[in-house]
Structure 1
Amino acid sequence: MATFDLKSFSSALNETNKVQSGVDFTGKSLKLNTEKDAKDIVAAISACPDLYYLTLTGNTLGVAAAEAIARALESHPELKVARWSDMFTGRMKTEIPPALKALGDGMIAAGARLKVLDLSDNAFGPIGVEGLAKLLQSEVCSELEELRLNNNGLGITGARLLAKALSSRPPRLRVFIAGRNRLENDGATALALVFQKMGSLEEVAMPQNGIYHVGISALSEAFKQNPQLSCLNLNDNTIGPKGAEAVAKALPRLKNLKAINFGDCLLKSKGARTLAKAFKDNSTLLECLDLSHNEIGRAACKELVDAITMLPDSGERLARVVLAGNSLGNAASKKGMKAQLGTAGELTDDEGESGDEDDDDDDDEGTESEEESDGESQDEENTEDSATEDAQHSVNISFNTMATSNNITLDTSGMDEVKNDVERFLKEPMLQNLERLGSNPVDVIEAHIESTQDTEELLTQYVNATLSVAGLSLNSDKAGDAAQLLFARTIAAANKRAASWPLTEKLLRGLALIKSEEKSPIRWHLPGCYAALARALPQHFPPALRSTLRFFIHAKLASLPAELRDSLQQHPVLLQD
């Protein structure tokens, strides 16, 4: 008979109720090269009696500064959370491994037991993993619950090194995040072997990694050994019909799965039907499902909707179902799906309407048969695997630039009915819609946005509104002046909420400088946005944000379409001080 350990129970209860304290230098934009540069952080660490967390996000550390911080950490075995994302901007790759190793050695010397390690947005590549290996293999990570390595440029080699480091002592991770790393099939397969040993995963997010059905199948096998998995994000990989089959086979073991994001995964109708059948057969209790932009036909979309609304509690349980960007059929078809999904359904950005109610997606099935044939060569798959995000992104930018510069009217059928003039403008950012907002459009837009409670969504709305107005600046002085006010208020809103780095990411996405995980289209005119940005940059932007934008603009300049590149070169302030 098991005994009840009152002492352990009391200790756990005290840990839960204890107020978390620590040191947070988020977004200070400190350039820490020497031990002297790091003295403020060292002093704060030394003065903290209970260092539960240390957050250094948005600063940049050299080796000497990292060593000084590491020495301060040696006195803090209680450290549980290390949030060190975006911490090596402007550093040479050779500086990063010794800096990471020094920080790890400090925690090892202290005997710390981390629960959370976040090193996202540090482009250290495979060489950075070498600096992490000792830490990941140590007792410090033996109780690790969250490992966040989003946007680190790991590649296949980095993924293999990471898998090797984790496999010697697999932690009982609950959360694993590794989006935008070009892991591809081999990297995903290497990590899948480690996931099988963990058995504890609750959330896995690996979007934009160039993973095809081979890697998806390996991951699906691993997920079977993680029955507590509740959130799975494989957005913008190529799952395809074969990958969908592998996922479907894993579903009977995943009774806790609540959220799936397979947007932009080329499922097609065949893959969608496979998932629909699996959802139905296993009575999967989904709350959120994103299958947007997957080239799914009307009939298959209907099967999906039927499957996830089959159970009587679906109306209360479903919070978000995104099928935007698929062929949903005619207005009656979309209306019927919307009625089934209720407020959870997001069916806008439709790729087209079909008047044929008996459409069986024959063209789609023919394409799938060719793609999924057993004769598919490995060389063909590797060719697709190696397509770069930059090349794909340039195509998106070119289309956006052409569409806006030539005044092409885009099809907006299927859009939800707008609730007010601000929403109308944001959906169709044209001068006539801006003029509907009256003589003071900035205040009207801000009043609409400030009703949003969630910080992430609020910043998204600020950035989208600002760029929508800025895009009109080449054709309207009024729009240009309004854009300047909106830039200033957007930055003020981020500063007020201590969210400068989330703002940076949203601006980079809105300006098409990094690829977005979301599939909402860029509706604003990018040349106009950059013209307005050139005017706003020296007046309203803090130094760190200026530097970051210039870095990305300069890095992307050569790959941008000629029209946009010529536009940028007319504004040298966007490229250098």
Structure 2
Amino acid sequence: MATDVVAQLADSLAKTQVTEGELSYKGQGRKFDNAKAEMVKEIQEFKGLQALRLEGNTYGVEAAQAIAKALETKSEFKYCYWSDMFTGRLRSEIPPALNSLGAALMTAGARLTVLDLSDNAFGPDGVKGIEKLLKSTKGAIAMAQALKHLRSVQVINFGDCLVRSEGAIAIAEAVTEGLPILKELNLSFGEITGEAALLVAQSVEGKATLEKLDLNGNCLGEEGCDALREVMDGLNMGDLLGALSDDEGEPDEEDEDEDDYEEDDDVEEEEDRSVNQVSSPPSVPRPPDASSFLCLPSPDKLLKLGTKRALLFEQQVDVADAGKTAEAFLKISSVYNEEDEEVKSAVLDSIDAILRKAFASPSFQGYDFVSSLLVMLGLLKSEDKVKPVRVVPGHLQVLEYVVRQDYFPQDHIAVLEALESCSSARNILKSTLEQVRPEN
């Protein structure tokens, strides 16, 4: 059967790569006032640590300091997945906690590629909590003076962090002066107004590697959204701007007054913490957003898209572009879990929706799609410099499923023979294909 192709390929390529370099405490719902000894020991003893997932728990200052100490020797560290980790904490706890974690990575000499602090709602002041991580050896007193010194970061996700206009302007200044290989910038749901959003848009001019700018769910208003699109179109980057469908509209004067009052309240609370300690509110979940999932895929995000996820992906993915369709395929299939029926069903339904639409289109280049998949998986050489994705079992398990579907042309399987690398996998694949190819 043709399905044996991908099944065997999955065994030979993906088994050892699914958790390589990653230590995860994701989604355990635990409260860490002081980091557990076993947790610190696990981090310390993890050889070649590249990614640490802390999201979905809540960490106090002492816990962050203990974790930070364990990170100080992790020079290979690249991926910070630190979203949704301060629910129920005092606002004043967040900056020192982030400072400790950031300072540890500076000590380690880590070269970050992904910085995900989304869903933390720490506001513009909280942005300064990562100053030690972001600043140069001298002088920077805020992120606007610091981000520019990060040379390796490709993804910055401050979605749902309420950075507001002040924080957005600081980030825009930093992006203008640095971040030469930035691929994705997410400032969604941050209460950013139109003027600040335009500065963010202008800051990405000349960023040749940029793939996505997300400013959805802010306070731009209809005119602000139009102006933002006009700026991005003028930069020939209009296709990189994410959807603006959840824009909150321009804030009225009453809202602005309330913001001022809340900021004054925060000052009073900070001055009299012993009398009135107010915890930061839980993060408000963002509305379903397919573009957010495709930016940083996770099983939780996929499930939160709800029963309309297939339609949302159909609307989001440009199936006229075989390369973008292949990229969407890999991102959705990356969260596939054979043991989780809900996630498994959500992935397959989404893939079915996209590929049925794609193969039904007369203009869709099916062979280009399959070739793009092989290139992105590192199984086919390309004249273009394409960095392969990290192969996980879901990629190949979902491909195994797809080649069995009625919408997938059987003659496209022949493209899978065109492998020039990964010799062992290639031999398995070619042998199986010879067995299943229909006789002429």
Q: TM-score, normalised by structure 2?
A: 0.49
Q: Which has the higher contact order (CA 8 A, sep 6+)?
A: 2
Q: TM-score, normalised by structure 1?
A: 0.38
Greater Rg over alpha carbons, structure = 1
